[in-house]
A = this chain, B = another copy of it.
């Protein structure tokens, strides 16, 4: 972790470059540092996945509404200050990417951060070794 999963109405597919958006979100996560100047999230564990929904309904369906939902799942136990920092950083980046679209289409954006409370957690990777100190 962290994992950012983005769910959105497929009518946004032609309006926003979602692969670019994933990369921008990923860079934003990796750019976060704590008070000691340490990178908050491990590079190898930072992932963003985006899924257009081919079927959807938004609000009263009276306009060609768009909706995008960003859900970040991170490990539990971080401070509320860190949650706020990360959330605001992502939100600011999203606003920059979407504000031109919001001027011409009715689009809703929701960003939430969940703490994972999994009862089992395992990792198997040929990415982590690239970023480990011994690599």
Contact = CB atoms under 8 A, between A and B. Distances in A.
Contacts of A127: 58-59, 65, 67, 106-108
A120 to B, nearest CB: 3
Contact of A126 (B55, B107, B116, B124): B107
Contact of A59 (B47, B55, B67, B72): B47
Number of copies: 3
A100 to B, nearest CB: 11
Interface residues of A, number: 78
B120 A86 contact: yes
Interface of A: 1, 3, 5-9, 18-19, 21-23, 25-27, 30, 43-61, 63, 65, 67, 69, 72, 80, 83-84, 86-88, 91, 94-95, 98, 102-103, 105-128, 130-131
